[in-house]
Structure 1
Amino acid sequence: MRAVLPRRPRPRTGSGATASWRRRAAVAVPPLMAAAIAGWGITVPSLWRDESVTGMAARMSLPELRALLADIDTVHALYYLLMRPFAALGASGPVELALRLPSLLAFAAAAYGVAVLGRRLAGPAAGLWSGLLYAVLPIMSRYAQEARGYALVSAVAVLATWLLVTALERPSRLRFAGYGAAVALLGWLHLYALLLLVAHAVAVLAAGRAVPGTRPPRRPRSSPTSHPPRGPLRPPWPSWLLAVAGAGVALAPLVVVAAGQRDTQLFWLRSPGPPELVAFPIGVAGSAAGAAAVFGLAVWGGWSARRTPLVAAWAVLPFAISFAVSQVAPIYHPRYVLVVVPGIALAAGIGLTRLAAIAGRWRFAVAVPAVLLVAATALPAHEALRTPDSRPDDLRSLTAALDAEVRPGDRVLFVPYRYRLFVAVYGGPYERLVDLTHAPGRYEPRTAAEFTAAAAGANRIWLVSARIGKVYAADPRLVALRSAFSAAGPTRRFGSIRLTLYRPRGAERHRAGVERRSGGARDAATSTPAPPA
């Protein structure tokens, strides 16, 4: 019941100790490379609004977090709980490093898993090249430097796939139970990542066809997974279905609650088209040239591994299904299909191994420059990710601007009402400003009447908002603000976040009059001739 590539005889190019060292190096180098790349400039970009939500949610008390999850973000509940110790760490050190550290570690773990799978499916060289290609892809570096769960999702997807391969090679209840637990964990981290199960189903069906109830041939002694046959084999799909069903039971509460939050959570998604289809491979590799190299190798690798359809299915099917479904009900975003990237790297690594094999004993002279070429084409994308303004929002500069200008008694209004979560991760001035959006101890926003009462007597109100278009122009608190206050200056932008200072209308007219009178007095003083000496 084999789900792996047919093992080729290993060339005898050295001692057993040398071969063992090479096998260990094949899986040790990629995670070290991944960690080094992810650590490069990790604190340079400001945290942006999604990362602010992570930090704010992870710092909440459990009752506050429960209130938030009852309204939105239930799909990220487990991730927020896992982030609590890192958020506490951020209170005494660089908050960017503390919140992004789990993603860095998950990225390194995923690179290790890709290398292990490549070694298991196609040999040490395939493991090395697959892991290194995964490590240099800019799309993964992007999410390895973000305080969101997508790097962790990718790592768990790799773990679940490795557990499936292990269970198919050496079936047992314990192995399938472990696989089912990994699938449940994957779903609790991101429900759309479960599209990976379609690729797993392909692998299970292929394994069942490969040995229809008969014993497999004995594996060579040199195989690290060799084992004696233990009785007649049964098709693997009943055990797989049982494992997936168990995961489904564990995920049922999350699915029920998340279904009710879908419109709030994903209202911004749109159906993708040809531009998004073209943009995805370029986004993965960082450039058109890099995409041609990586995806060209992946096509070759998928064809070379056609007897193991898991490789091609993993690289293609989750993306294809998400893209197709989104034509009717939008669920597609590149970060929601990151689970295909390990499959792409695995296929590309196998393809590179096959390409290098043509050169015989000079295979490293082919493979190493190929990896370096992919890295070189990705370098501009990596550098662009590590600039201060590379994220959609610059919350660090926003916080610094407020910190310099906030006066005692100033108040703040957030539009939309959840925006405090989106911007206040750096603390500072937000802890001094009186929040007019929410009453103390309440998650629900104030009504317009409550806002008017709370704003009475205020001399300065800061509006921190998204772009005020048709969606937010009718916000009742914003309408009340604009009826009694007027902008005291231009709106400043920090990425997609807007900052505007408001003052009472009468006070603003009075201030303008004072400025006109003082300006007139200065003009008169400068235009009056000096008396004769």
Structure 2
Amino acid sequence: MRLRGDVVPPVVAVAVGFWGVTVPSFWRDESVSAMAAVMPLRDLWRLLGAIDAVHALYYLLLRPFAAIGTNELVLRLPSVVATALAAYGVAVVGRRLASERAGVVAGVVYALMPIVSRYAQETRSYALVTAVAVLATWTLLNALEDRRWSRFAFYAASLALLGWLHLFALLIVLAHGVTVLAWRRRELLRWGAAVAGAMAVVAPLALVASREREQVLWLQRPGPADLLDFAHQAGGTWWAVGLLGVLVVAGTVCAFREARPLALVALPWAFLPVLASFAISQVEPIYHPRYLLFCVPAVALLAGAAFLPAFLPSFRPSSPPSSRPAVLPAALRGWRSWVVPVVVVGLLAALTVPAQILLRQPDARPDDLRTLSSTLSAEIRPGDAVLFVPFRYRLFVGVYGSPYRVLDDLTYAPGRAKPRSRSQFRMVAGEFQRVWMVSAVPKKYCPTDVRCQALIKDSRFRRTTQRRFGRIFVTLYTRR
């Protein structure tokens, strides 16, 4: 039985994904995922009614893993697996639309890109979203080639799943629409019906998400520099970005000459959602590189197309000497055609190494919650208290929960879901000698937080120290 090259990309993805997966600390978004995955369902339902309804399905899928453990290896495992599945899907789509060599190279390129390994090592939904985007594209190909309504039903189901994992990923529908128009226009009606069915399934989530707009108010209107930053995150270094750019341009030309379906699928997929997100964000910001991770497989497909036979000959000797067999043994047959792809992919891997190493530092994420937790554990004293500013920061830092189980929480009254009022906080704070405030930028959030204002203006306390752990500040207030 012949072992197909499709297995190489997921193996590479798993190897890269597990490389240093436990080294970087969880950051605040991962903390929310971990806390949501272990809290009672009633509390989870209450949380989703206030924030993060768009991540509800991911939190439910994460719960079986959280039941095993809440360490970095277990909770990041789903993202590693999803990345491997996406790499396999890229290889399968590339082989289907072009050639085995193009598919394998595309899958390996995808697995080696730093932006991919970054989110393969994160307890968030983006790697899974990307894998489902690849699945949706594969089901679209099945529907366009088979033309049965059942195939379009599978496509609709994959789109609905994609939307329930992340609403912004439905921008892929724009790319698929261009593909259908350019390649199988006569299937436009069936495709439209499938999209409409998927949108109907996702509509309830979209309605709830529209009420939680404050969750993305931190997004800013993007400019050209943000697009360049996206490219840099994808390649990790500008040398790698340059090499990827050459491969994508060459692959696009080659695909239009030798594998037009691949060009019609990958080109809109790679660029249309990015441009649409950028344009929409000029009015209502929704742009962020992690929200567009699902476009990266298309970039890898175009890069793999640079190694189609028309662009890369097989290097067969034109007239082999009579003393040499004209046909190589089966085990070596065709190896010559893989020399250049292996060299180029090896060069790309080498160029991304500095970025890959940086991604695997303990403080490589926006917040270093693990160091924060260990610092508090070492310095807290019996009877110390903690205040979270804003009040939801208890959820944002709680994944490393050992010090917070010891500290008395002044943010919430025992058994209450709402934070204390200013007067309630001032009354209970008088019982403690020291209060640790865990917060976002204090100058930004303290003016609007009544408990923080009460602590700052309380003449019984003075600020002793303030330290920063990524984007999170820890300030100690002691009794005068």
**Conservation of the 8 A alpha-carbon contact between 1:315 and 1:343:** yes
Matched, 1:494 2:445: no
Equivalent of residue 305 in structure 1, options 255, 261, 267:
255
The residue aligned with 2:330 is: none
Matched, 1:255 2:231: no
1:296-327 deviation per Cα after TM superposition (whole angstroms, max 9, x unaligned): 21122223333321111111111111111112
Structure 1 residue 274: Cα displacement? 1.9
1:213-256 deviation per Cα after TM superposition (whole angstroms, max 9, x unaligned): xxxxxxxxxxxxxxxxxxxxxx2112111111111111111000
SS at match of 2:386: strand
**Normalised TM-score (structure 2):** 0.92
1:118-153 deviation per Cα after TM superposition (whole angstroms, max 9, x unaligned): 010101111110101001000000000000000000
Structure 1 residue 469: Cα displacement? 2.1
The residue aligned with 1:63 is: 42
Matched, 1:89 2:64: no
Matched, 1:348 2:324: no
Distance 1:44 1:494 in 2: 16
**Conservation of the 8 A alpha-carbon contact between 1:179 and 1:243:** yes
Structure 1 residue 90: Cα displacement? 1.6
**Conservation of the 8 A alpha-carbon contact between 1:398 and 1:494:** yes
Structure 1 residue 486: Cα displacement? 3.1
Matched, 1:417 2:391: yes
SS at match of 1:438: coil
**Normalised TM-score (structure 1):** 0.83
Moved more, 470-479 or 138-147: 470-479
- Decide whether aligned partners of structure 1 residues 450 and 29 sit closer, same or farther in structure 2, where only a CA change above 3 A counts: same
**Conservation of the 8 A alpha-carbon contact between 2:461 and 2:478:** yes
Alignment of 1:73-152 (within 5 A): 73-91=52-70, 95-152=71-128
| Number of residue pairs the alignment of both structures matches | 455
**Conservation of the 8 A alpha-carbon contact between 2:101 and 2:307:** no
SS at match of 1:357: coil
- Decide whether aligned partners of structure 1 residues 357 and 52 sit closer, same or farther in structure 2, where only a CA change above 3 A counts: same
Equivalent of residue 171 in structure 2, options 195, 199, 206:
195
Matched, 1:325 2:280: yes
Moved more, 150-159 or 396-405: 396-405
Matched, 1:443 2:422: no
- Decide whether aligned partners of structure 1 residues 356 and 44 sit closer, same or farther in structure 2, where only a CA change above 3 A counts: farther
The residue aligned with 1:281 is: 231
Counterpart residue identity of residue 295, structure 2: V
Distance 1:500 1:397 in 2: 15
**Conservation of the 8 A alpha-carbon contact between 1:280 and 1:334:** yes
Structure 1 residue 60: Cα displacement? 1.0
Equivalent of residue 339 in structure 1, options 283, 291, 294:
294
Long gaps (5+) in structure 1: 1-16, 210-234, 509-533
**Conservation of the 8 A alpha-carbon contact between 2:465 and 2:477:** no
Structure 1 residue 363: Cα displacement? 2.7
SS at match of 1:165: helix
1:262-311 deviation per Cα after TM superposition (whole angstroms, max 9, x unaligned): 1x111111111121122221210111111111122112222333332111
Structure 1 residue 208: Cα displacement? 2.8
Structure 1 residue 488: Cα displacement? 4.7
Distance 1:304 1:199 in 2: 20
SS at match of 1:305: helix
Distance 1:165 1:419 in 2: 44
Distance 2:63 2:431 in 1: 38
Structure 1 residue 52: Cα displacement? 0.5
SS at match of 1:469: helix
Equivalent of residue 270 in structure 2, options 315, 319, 334:
315
Counterpart residue identity of residue 43, structure 2: E
Distance 1:290 1:469 in 2: 39
The residue aligned with 1:364 is: 338
Moved more, 329-338 or 298-307: 298-307
Percent of residue pairs bearing the same amino acid type: 52
**Conservation of the 8 A alpha-carbon contact between 1:103 and 1:151:** yes
**Conservation of the 8 A alpha-carbon contact between 1:143 and 1:151:** yes
Structure 1 residue 358: Cα displacement? 3.3
Structure 1 residue 29: Cα displacement? 0.6
SS at match of 1:458: coil
Matched, 1:427 2:401: yes
**Conservation of the 8 A alpha-carbon contact between 2:175 and 2:273:** yes
Q: Please report the RMSD computed on the Cα atoms of aligned residues, expressed in angstroms.
A: 1.5
The residue aligned with 2:197 is: 246
**Conservation of the 8 A alpha-carbon contact between 1:301 and 1:354:** no
Counterpart residue identity of residue 436, structure 2: W
Structure with larger Rg: 1
Long gaps (5+) in structure 2: 317-335
Structure 1 residue 354: Cα displacement? 5.0
Counterpart residue identity of residue 315, structure 1: A
Matched, 1:452 2:426: yes
**Conservation of the 8 A alpha-carbon contact between 1:356 and 1:363:** no
Equivalent of residue 369 in structure 2, options 373, 395, 402:
395
Equivalent of residue 161 in structure 1, options 105, 127, 137:
137
SS at match of 1:425: coil
Counterpart residue identity of residue 168, structure 1: L
